[in-house]
């Protein structure tokens, strides 16, 4: 937990320094971006991002919960993941279509099943778990349709490259905010 706070503070200070260095045109918009989808064919993803457009750059902080689906595994307990992301990128607007691309760092927390079997009080068995925390590189690419100035719908592809469990996350996305 202490590592997460340190990494988060470091990333936010870096993003703020970009803001001070590149202050040319100022605030251009913001978006709250809830997302839902699948990851690595194993489970469901839900979460979202907060994006701020400033000086032709997009600063994004995101949080996603990934849960292994019971159809994908009969083993218990199911594995869970938490993907935090701090990214920097750009929006390319073409009329009512927006293409977005970002990259950054992504702390990643995983509750992983081990091979150790634990006997339960009721006579059943379950696997032991261990928590793993790593920092990976994250990218996000998205295509959005903007029917209104305050809303867009589209798809995002998020990837987290880390040494423990690389993630590939296609999501459906709805953005609300000051988009144009």
Q: What is the pLDDT of residues 104-114, one digit of tens each?
A: 999 989 887 77
Query: What value does the CA radius of gyration of the chain take, rounded to a whole number of Å?
Result: 19
Q: What is the pLDDT of residues 118-167, one digit of tens each?
A: 777 776 777 777 888 999 999 999 999 999 999 999 999 999 999 988 88
- Would you list the DSSP string of 149-169? TTEEEEEEEEEEE-SS--EEE
Q: Which residues contact 174 (CB under 8 A, 6 or more apart)?
A: 33, 34, 151, 152, 153
| CA distance to 8, 26, 168, per residue, from 1 (Å) | 11, 34, 24
CA distance 83 to 25: 32
User: What's the CATH code of the domain at 117?
Assistant: 2.40.160.20
**pTM recorded for the entire structure:** 0.75
User: What's the number of domains the chain is made of?
Assistant: 1
DSSP, res 4: H
- Domain range spanning residue 135? 2-178
Residue written as tokens 């594995």?
A: 79
């Amino acid at each position: 937990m202490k590592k997460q706070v340190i990494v988060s503070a470091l990333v936010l200070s870096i993003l703020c320094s970009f803001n001070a260095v590149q202050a040319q045109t100022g605030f251009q918009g913001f978006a709250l971006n809830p997302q839902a989808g699948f990851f690595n064919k194993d489970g469901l993803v839900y979460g979202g991002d907060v994006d701020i457009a400033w000086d032709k750059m997009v600063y994004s902080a995101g949080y996603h919960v990934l849960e292994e689906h019971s159809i994908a595994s009969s083993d218990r307990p199911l594995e869970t993941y938490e993907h935090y992301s701090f990214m920097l990128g750009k929006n390319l607007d073409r009329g009512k279509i927006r293409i977005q691309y970002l990259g950054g760092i992504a702390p990643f927390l995983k509750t992983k099943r081990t091979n150790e079997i634990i006997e339960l009080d009721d006579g059943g068995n379950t696997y032991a778990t261990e928590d793993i925390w790593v920092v990976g590189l994250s990218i996000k690419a998205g295509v959005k349709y903007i029917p209104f100035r305050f809303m867009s719908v589209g798809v995002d592809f998020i990837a987290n490259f880390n040494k423990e469990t690389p993630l590939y996350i296609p999501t459906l996305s709805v953005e609300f905010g000051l988009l144009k």
